[in-house]
Homo-oligomer: A and B are copies of this chain.
Amino acid sequence: MTGSELLTGAVRDANGPWVARELGELGFEVARIEIVGDRPADLVAALEHVAEFDLVVTSGGLGPTADDLTTEIVAGYVGAPLELDETMQALIHRRVARWAERTGFAGPALDEATRKQAMVPRGAVALEPVGTAPGLVVRKPAGPLVVVLPGPPRELQGMWPAVLAAPPVVELLATVPRAEPRSLRFFGLPESEIAQTLREMERARDLSAVEVTTCLRRSELEVDLHPLPGAEELAAEIADEIVSRHRKNLISAFGTTTDELLAAALVEHGLTVATGESCTGGMVAARLVDRAGSSAYVNGGVVAYSNEAKTALLGVPAEMIAEHGAVSPEVARALADGARERFGASIGVGVTGVAGPGGGTEAKPVGYVCFCVTTADGLVITRDPVLPGSRGDIRERSTDLAMHLLLRAAGGLPR
């Protein structure tokens, strides 16, 4: 990854994780993600650090500005001169022509930018741009295969099929062994419990052919088992043992996420959802709508941030707010019921809490959040934890917990 903006913290790298997952699924072992600035010495050093690998994927630094240096540096690294690819130049020109005319940005600045983006190291496979920057596939003699991709995630991901179809990549892929990783997902389970389970299993047999990693993702614990080639069966046995010991905390034995399980459960049982949110301010609704096809089961929601809105739009009695406070289990329930009824949904979820940083009291500190999920057939699930962290953390954890309670109400958890 290149891009000085990634080192100022202004932008979070989306490409590293995406490419890593794709490569992992193809059977590659991903050793490292490295983010460096657009400075020649740093780019060269980054390529030298990866000389021993089979494949290097770069992203970014293909733009038209002088700080975009990747193509030039890679050409130097593989020892091939840069040449103007006129077909590419014409193609990029056609791409931008209409936009340039319309906006009045046509002219020498744009022509210069087009020419820069059409320079290709001799011998490289050039990949058709998704935006205006072509990708490259080029081998360093006696070194790694280098795949050069643009930085905008949409362009990088759009170019990926062309990467996999490029002859040098096809050739490399033929040499990669496939071993499927296995993922388990738990809620409310500390990492130390998994460590203990593994220690006990290790007394009986050697588990070293399976790499087990645990990762606490806010409210959920993900356990990933990466078998060495041939150890798939051992990985499956370890997974089964972990699942059987911690079944009551299990979300999924096959890595399925809460969101996927919830969508499947809602569709399977023909259920619909409506939201009544205060502190999460639309995050639960947005998370539900994230998935394609969500119109089949999301009726809608109300962000009732002010007390007046809670009363006017979701029928929360003003006296209830006066008596118990806007952040109370009573109001959470009224939000859930109100949303369910107003939107004619089968399940309603209400969330109201103190996200902070101000507004906390001794009885209701920052992080105190009340949840309620109610269904048309009378099920009521409530929670009112004090969640840790910043305003952002509290709102994200609240969204997670709301999704988890919805999953429970929709009957989507394993028995």
Contact = CB atoms under 8 A, between A and B. Distances in A.
B31 A34 contact: no
A141 B275 CA distance: 57
B298 A343 contact: no
A302 B305 contact: no
Contacts of A175: none
- The copy count of this chain in the complex is 2
A281 interface: yes
B289 A313 contact: no
Contacts of A212: 67
A154 B390 contact: yes
A11 B17 contact: yes
Interface of A: 3-14, 16-22, 24, 30-39, 42, 46, 49, 63-67, 103, 105, 108-110, 112-113, 152-154, 157, 181, 183, 188, 190-196, 198-199, 211-217, 222, 224, 226, 275, 277, 279-286, 288-290, 292-295, 298-306, 308-309, 312-313, 342-344, 356-358, 388-393, 395
Most buried by B among A188, A191, A195, A211: A195
A282 B286 contact: yes
A5 B292 contact: no
A390 to B, nearest CB: 7
B222 A10 contact: yes
24 contacts: A3-B215, A8-B20, A8-B21, A9-B17, A9-B24, A10-B183, A12-B13, A13-B16, A32-B36, A34-B35, A35-B35, A65-B191, A105-B192, A110-B192, A113-B192, A153-B393, A275-B282, A281-B288, A292-B356, A298-B303, A298-B305, A300-B313, A312-B343, A313-B313
A12 B9 contact: no
A3 B38 CA distance: 25
A289 B281 contact: yes
B286 A11 contact: no
A337 to B, nearest CB: 16
Contacts of A290: 281, 392, 395
B289 A300 contact: no
B195 A65 contact: yes
Contacts of A21: 8-10
Given A110-B192, A282-B301, A283-B282, A154 B389 contact: yes
Which of A6, A34, A285, A392 gathers the greatest number of chain B CB atoms within 10 Å? A285
Contacts of A109: 192-193, 195-196
